[in-house]
Amino acid sequence: MTDKTPAVKCNPDRMLLRLLADIGVNFDCASLAEIEQVSEMGVDPQRIIFAHPCKSQSALEIAARLGIRWTTFDNGDELDKIQRISPDMELLLRISVPDFGAKVPMGTKFGAHMEVTRPLLEKASLLGLKIIGVSFHIGPGSSDPNAFGTAVHYASCVFEESKELGFDMRILDVGGGFEDESFETMACTLRAAISRKFPSPIVVIAEPGRFYASGFYTMICKVIARRVHTGTGESKKPDMLYLNDGIYGCFSPCWAENAIFVPQLIELQAEHRLTPQKLEPHRYSIWGPTCCSIDCISKEVIMDQEVVIGDWLKFHDMGDIHYYGATITLKLKRDV
């Protein structure tokens, strides 16, 4: 059995969340604001997992009061906090796994290494807490199918440890990072690894937030300025376009994931253009509106025709982490 549980942080747009709620998916929430947003839509708290291994005390208190049943942990201090505040919650141990080929390494900040999983399980047992499963995340956009095979093997080892200590684990949360172009390959590898390592039935939770959200948005940006290189020393450089959004807004994956964005020019009738255009290919670098010199969206793209000030550029598949990058700080400020 597989539960589809997309991460709200991937795109907290209310219309998208409403659609997902209506088709019956569960929700991975990483902050109190996300939990409250989903709860206000009438989603049963039993369909929410508080998937943050290092939560604030106030967020944990309110989550427990709202009836959230599941949460994650990866260290002993978190176990002490949970035992003190919400001892009836059911827990998943977040483990650190190799993130082969991931755009963003996930194991740097979160996840218990294999040498400490048993001591953590022993501590949970002494505290009287209930451990029901294991979670991991191979990292967003991983292109190496072997990453899932290794992660599932690690998880199976923790399941065996838990059995020796008297826990009855039944849930495997395989995280997210699924993308359209590699989804079938990664899913097949994951399915085979789970069948091999977990012959007995378990509940598998997958967090395909990007897979759901990516195509949900197309973003349109305005060209607010342009710099044409005219000097002899600059003749080989692409001309520069400046947009009304950049890496400190919806293009945050430029610095977080080295993402590549290739826009399309929205065709305007001649009377609506500020200046005439040349109908021949042009090379451009694309920049955000800030004064920061690293606010670069694309170092070089080739457009079919000249782009001028006042034109509009269209970026497809902007519905996932791009929206999140512009809102995550606000979402976490309340978790104090």
- Res. 138: pLDDT tops 60: yes
- The confidence band for 231, taking pLDDT boundaries of 50, 70 and 90, is confident
Which two structure tokens, joined as six digits, stand for 177? 């990072």
- The confidence band for 52, taking pLDDT boundaries of 50, 70 and 90, is very high
Residue 330 is predicted with a pLDDT of 43
For residues 55 and 50, give the distance between their C-alpha atoms in angstroms, rounded to a whole number: 9
For residues 249 and 318, give the distance between their C-alpha atoms in angstroms, rounded to a whole number: 12
Number of alpha carbons in the 13 Å side-chain half-sphere of residue 72 = 28
Residue 272 is predicted with a pLDDT of 55
Q: By percentage, how much of the chain surpasses pLDDT 70? A: 83
pLDDT digits (tens, 9 = 90+) for 187-203: 888 899 999 999 889 99
Q: What is the mean pLDDT of residues 21-37?
A: 92
Q: Is 291 a catalytic residue?
A: yes
CATH for 219-315, options being 2.30.30.30, 3.40.50.920, 2.60.120.40, 2.40.37.10: 2.40.37.10
Which one from 10, 291, 292, 296 is the annotated catalytic residue?
A: 291
pLDDT digits (tens, 9 = 90+) for 233-247: 666 789 999 999 998
**Range name among 123-137, 168-182, 294-308 with the lowest pLDDT average:** 168-182
Residue 328 is predicted with a pLDDT of 46
Residue 130 is predicted with a pLDDT of 98
- Res. 333: pLDDT tops 50: no
Q: By percentage, how much of the chain surpasses pLDDT 90? A: 57
- Res. 177: pLDDT tops 80: no
Amino acid identity at 304: D
Q: What is the mean pLDDT of residues 49-62?
A: 95
- The confidence band for 256, taking pLDDT boundaries of 50, 70 and 90, is low
The mean of the pLDDT values for the chain is 86
Which two structure tokens, joined as six digits, stand for 240? 């520069």
Which two structure tokens, joined as six digits, stand for 120? 């953590």
**Where in the chain is CATH 2.40.37.10?**
219-315
For residues 192 and 174, give the distance between their C-alpha atoms in angstroms, rounded to a whole number: 13
**What is the CATH code of the structural domain delimited by 2-214?**
3.20.20.10
- The confidence band for 260, taking pLDDT boundaries of 50, 70 and 90, is confident
Q: Are 317 and 214 in contact (CB under 8 A)?
A: yes
- Residue partners of 196: CB distance under 8 A and separation at least 6: 152
**Where in the chain is CATH 3.20.20.10?**
2-214
The vertex-140 CA angle with 187 and 211, nearest 5°, equals 55
Neighbours of 274 (CB within 10 A): 11
319 versus 261: the higher-pLDDT residue is: 261
For residues 187 and 193, give the distance between their C-alpha atoms in angstroms, rounded to a whole number: 10
Backbone dihedral angles phi then psi of residue 15, each to the nearest 5 degrees: -65, -45
Most confident of 7-21, 147-161, 179-193, 203-217: 147-161
pLDDT digits (tens, 9 = 90+) for 67-111: 999 999 999 999 999 999 999 999 999 999 987 766 666 667 899
- The confidence band for 66, taking pLDDT boundaries of 50, 70 and 90, is very high
The pTM (predicted TM-score) of the whole model is 0.83
- The confidence band for 332, taking pLDDT boundaries of 50, 70 and 90, is very low
Residue 218 is predicted with a pLDDT of 86
- Res. 275: pLDDT tops 70: no
